[in-house]
Structures are given as C-alpha cells and as structure tokens.
Chain A
Amino acid sequence: NAGVTQTPKFQVLKTGQSMTLQCAQDMNHNSMYWYRQDPGMGLRLIYYSASEGTTDKGEVPNGYNVSRLNKREFSLRLESAAPSQTSVYFCASSEGGAGTVNYGYTFGSGTRLTVV
C-alpha cells in the first residue's frame, strides 16, 4: 500500500539547470497537487490537476510546469532552476471529482531541492 510516491527524495541543482520531479499514486484518485513548503509560510499550492488531462495554476506557479501523464502520475518540471526555488516539494492526491465528498489529501514524503 504505497500511497503517494515521490522521486527523488533529495536533489541539488545549479542555477539554470532543469529537472523533473516525479509523483505517482496508486489509490485511483482523480485529483493531484504539487505544493512547496518554506519556513514560516506553510504549504503553498503550485499546480493541481482535478482530473486526467487537466491542469490549473495554483498560488505560486511561476517558474514551474506540470504534466498529468495519466491518472496515476503528475510531474513537476523546473525549466531553469533559481535559488528562490530551493524548497521542499510535496505531491498529494485526493478522490476529488464532482459529487464526491473530499476527505482530504494523501501526501508523499517530499523532495528536498537545493538550487545553488
């Protein structure tokens, strides 16, 4: 019962490099989310996908792109990393969907990214 799996767990990038953070869930959830966590700021939503084939911007989307590859997978891409993107990134999923009661999110264990 893996839940939400994120890879990698740690990454160090140089300014200007690109990378993709991977996320997969095995709970047949409709909705998936990417958050970043910074000290004193809680978690802020970067992008989300309410269903396969759809994506929408959250609170802090600048500098990121996402792909909902299929129902299981939702990736986050940094095209040209900047030091301001140093953070811990969390992927989450939820049942979502019209007519459902949302019982909250299931989170992955996070990716700690440092941009130097």
Chain B
Amino acid sequence: AQSVTQLGSHVSVSEGALVLLRCNYSSSVPPYLFWYVQYPNQGLQLLLKYTSAATLVKGINGFEAEFKKSETSFHLTKPSAHMSDAAEYFCAVMFGNEKLTFGTGTRLTIIP
C-alpha cells in the first residue's frame, strides 16, 4: 500500500543549528511530495513541493528538501534554525488520484 512515514514525532534543535526532519514514502512509482507547516491554532501552509522537476526543492522561510528515489525519501532541512520555526511539520504524498495522504507530523522545538 502507498504510504508516508515521518520519523520522530518530536525534534528539538538549538537556535542556529541544522534542522532535519525525515520523511519516507512507500510507492511503486514516484509520487508528488509536499511539506506543510502548521503554527499553533492555525491551518496548514505549504512549505514546498516536489512535482517531478528538480530533485532539490527550495521553499519558503529558508527550507529545502531533496527527493531521493533510491532511498524513497524527501527529508526537510534548514541550515540554521530560528525561533520562529517552532511548529508542527507534515510530509504529504499525492499519487495519481490527487488525494493528499499525510504523515503523522513532527513537532519542532527550538531551544534558545
């Protein structure tokens, strides 16, 4: 079955440190891949998306993600964490039927 897995429900990093949030998918064909961010008491905002163009995708707020077919991964990174990055992050996949399937989310905490 096609699915998406986020490793680590909670991640803490120090301000200024590298942010790495992991996402792996299971599919026989490469899907479309997305990262969304949710700030407290808000809806989901699109960070970036992979739609079979460049494998390294740059998004808003300094985030980027790299699609690696051999590893079936789409990990989210940011070189230097900022306090404002504290939020919950969701990886999502879309297959041919255009329905988004979400991972269970990773809550990112930034340590001052």
Residues of A bordering B, CB below 8 Å: 4, 31, 33, 35, 40-45, 48, 50, 58, 90, 92, 94, 96, 101-110
- The 7 nearest A-B residue pairs measured at CB: A107-B43, A42-B102, A42-B104, A43-B102, A109-B43, A107-B44, A102-B98
A105 in contact with B9 (CB, 8 Å): no
Contacts of A102 on B, CB cut-off 8 Å? 32, 51, 94, 98
Chain B residues with a Cβ closer than 8 Å to the other chain, count: 21
Q: A42-B90, A43-B90 are in contact. Are A109 and B9 (CB under 8 A)?
A: no
Contacts of A94 on B, CB cut-off 8 Å? 98
Q: List 5 A-B contacts (CB under 8 A).
A: A4-B43, A40-B105, A104-B94, A108-B43, A109-B43
Specify which of B42, B51, B98, B100 lies most central, judged by the most chain A CB atoms within 10 Å of its CB: B98
A38 CA / B90 CA spacing, docked (Å): 13
Q: Which of A42, A45, A103 contacts B105 (CB 8 A)?
A: A42
Contacts of B32 on A, CB cut-off 8 Å? 102, 104
